[in-house]
Amino acid sequence: MLSKKYKPGTTEEILGNQKQVFEIKKWIKKNKKGGALIITGPPGSGKTLSVELIAKELKYDLIKLGAGDFRNPENIKKLLLSSQQKSLMSKGKIIFIDELDSVSSSGFKAVHELIKQSPYPIVMIVDDIYSRKLVNIKKKCDIVKFYKIRQPSLMKFLKKIAEKEGIRTNDIILKKIVATSNGDVRAALNDLESLSVNPGEDNYRDVENKIFETINVILKTKNPENVRIALKNSNKTLDEIVWWLEENIKREYEKKEELAKAYDALSRIDVIQTRIMKRQAWSLQSYIPDLVIAIALSKNEKYKKFVNYSPPTFFLMYGKRKSKKLDALLEKMSKELHVSKKTAMNYLNLVAMLVKNKVIKIDKEDKHILFEATGQIK
């Protein structure tokens, strides 16, 4: 992959944000005996890479931690203990916590304790610096903010790589890649690579894709990264995308083995969704995008035929009149839950279960619409 091949080997090779890289390096040298630093900024701007390369150049051990490391009480005790142990083979340690804003509320207590006890600098990556969970912890930390890579710099970088790799392109195409990458270097490289594999294929990195575009990407591409981007940029929820895939796999794939693989992945999604509802195990939802990728990779090769994708049968049966009623119900839910209608759609099954078990009450008409929409007509 181009993103791996052209991954910077030193901090000087990092594209953009050089001032921020210098600040981080200076902070780590200054805070050898503890302290905490938050790094925030858009994806693909070099946040994680900067810390990795700084640790390498300073000859420090980099202890990487994620949100999952703060879920188990026993694991937390081990983290606190290991954070105080001296490094035998290197000059020091950097304790690196990725996706701090994904750490649970109970995990945040451990992070506070880690900051308090650790004799080594703690560097944390944050996507949403304005998250309420970070209000108290920000008071204890210095903050470095990364910015999107400037378009002229990214354009020059891509042009250089295209020439090296012999990728046939032009300024118009490169400008489109730069614009749609939104300053994300990895995203831009993946798009450039996609162009080299599938010359003339449209770029999939739109700000927000309509459902037909999302399904077209998933069922046409063989590139897992394109699927992730399509899911991220879609204007529909994950549940809705799965409904559309269920309806259209048979329209796209022709070979029996391809259909078998795709429907097997789809059945696994169904199992996960059932477990989420029964056990309230929402963490399982993170596995669904990987199974959608499995659906995309079920085909042996990309079909070039045009397919007129159809909405799920459920939608067609539901009709416009009922869809308006469902939309009105989602509007009510979004106001009560303080979320968007798109997010409220994800809670339909949960709300239906709560209503069915008489945990919450809603009026008769809304109840009928809810049960009809979730296949639990009573």
pLDDT in tens, 223-250: 888 888 888 877 778 888 888 898 899 9
Residue 274: pLDDT over 80? no
Residue 335: pLDDT over 80? no
pLDDT in tens, 55-87: 999 999 888 887 777 776 666 666 666 666 666
pLDDT band at residue 322 under the 50/70/90 scheme: low
What kind of fold does domain 149-203 have according to CATH? Helicase, Ruva Protein; domain 3 (1.10.8)
CATH superfamily of 17-145: P-loop containing nucleotide triphosphate hydrolases (3.40.50.300)
If you average pLDDT over residues 250-267, what whole number do you get? 91
- Assess whether the region 17-145 and the region 149-203 belong to the same CATH fold: no
Least confident segment among 122-136, 166-180, 192-206, 305-319:
192-206
Q: What is the chain's mean pLDDT, rounded? A: 81
Half-sphere exposure of 37 (CA within 13 A, CB side): 27
Query: What pLDDT is stored for residue 24 in this prediction?
Result: 95
Q: Can you give the length of the chain in residues?
A: 378
Q: How far is CA 122 from CA 70, 101, 115, 293, in A?
A: 15, 15, 7, 35
If you average pLDDT over residues 32-49, what whole number do you get? 85
- Taking the domains of the chain in order of start, what are their residue ranges? 17-145, 149-203, 206-311, 313-373
pLDDT band at residue 321 under the 50/70/90 scheme: very low
47 CB contacts (<8 Å, ≥6 apart)? Answer: 39, 40, 41, 125, 146
